[in-house]
Every structure is written in structure tokens, then in C-alpha cells.
Amino acid sequence: MSALPRLKGQEMSIRVFRNDTVVKELVLISTINDNVNIDIKEDGFLGESVNRFDNVLNGYGGDFEFQVNQSRWYEFTRFVTDKAQRLSIEATTTVFNIVMTESYSDGNVNIIAYMGVAFGAFNKSTASRADFVKVKTSFSCSERDEQLNAL
């Protein structure tokens, strides 16, 4: 029995869009975590011997870390900051989308798109003189589109 090849980080890419224009293509991704935020709700009622459970979808999110290879990433953070501060009409109407592409060894390609993304803090770190500069941020949104076997 042979083990099937698994998805590696080298088969993933992330693009961040601002109003249908790529503002950052993250090719030096160190880590990414994405999730479906589902809460379990529990209710107990008098006269019943066990509690009742239900699920509630609270959106999608995650975080990622990338190495810096161009100063252009500051433009990206400026777009996010301008939107957060509501500095102009253009800034407030800006929509950020994250598109993650997964290329599997069997030829299948999944495209996961997070729409209307809000970003958290951008943390830049440099561990030592010999290490690469990294930026880590988190994101959340309420809509995700999954195109399985897209290509």
C-alpha cells in the first residue's frame, strides 16, 4: 500500500485583492491557518434528561505569516489602515478578498476565496540578524467560496 502524496506549502499561494486588483501576492508564505468558525450551542430544559445541542456558523477566518521581499507590502497595510480609519470614500468602499489556491499532486486544484475580509494587527518581526523579516496578520469574513477541482 503506497502513501498518496499530501498537500505541501509549496503548492499553495495567496493573493489579496482590493476592488478586483491584486494588491499583494504572497509567495513567501511561512504559515497559514484558515478556519470555519462554528460554535456549539447548548440548551438545557426542565423536565428533559439531556441537553440539546445545535451549531451556529460565525464566519470564517485565519491567520498567515509571510516573509518580506518587497517594500510593496507597506502599500497593502496602508490600504487596510485607510479603510480602518475611513479616510476617504475610496477607502470605505474598498473590498478585500483573499484567494487561496491549493494544487494537489493528482492534478486537482481547489480555489478558496474569502470575500469581504477584515484584517487584524500586522505584526512585523525580526528574530535575529540571520533571520528573514516576517509579517503576521489575522483575518475574518462572513463569506467563503469554494471551487473544488476548479482547473
- Give the per-residue pLDDT at 122: 92
- Give the per-residue pLDDT at 30: 81
- Give the per-residue pLDDT at 8: 64
16/94 Cα distance (integer angstroms): 12
- Give the per-residue pLDDT at 95: 85
CA nearest to 96, candidates 124, 65, 150, 137: 137
Q: Which residues of the chain have pLDDT under 70?
A: 1-13, 150-151
- Give the per-residue pLDDT at 88: 84
Using a 10 angstrom Cβ sphere, with 0-12 exposed, 13-18 middle and 19 or more buried, the burial of residue 138 is middle
- Give the per-residue pLDDT at 55: 95
- Give the per-residue pLDDT at 1: 45
Chain centroid to Cα 98, Å, comes to: 6
**Hey, is 109 helix, strand or coil?**
strand
Cβ neighbours for 89, distance < 8 A, ≥ 6 positions apart: none
- Give the per-residue pLDDT at 102: 82
Name residue 110's beta-bridge partners: 102
For 99, the grid coordinates are 484567494
Name residue 38's beta-bridge partners: 57
CA nearest to 102, candidates 112, 116, 113, 89: 112
DSSP states of 45-94: -TT-SS-EEEEEEEEEEEEEEEE--STTHHHHHHHHHHHHHT-SHHHHT-
User: Considering the entire predicted model, what is its pTM?
Assistant: 0.78
- Give the per-residue pLDDT at 62: 93
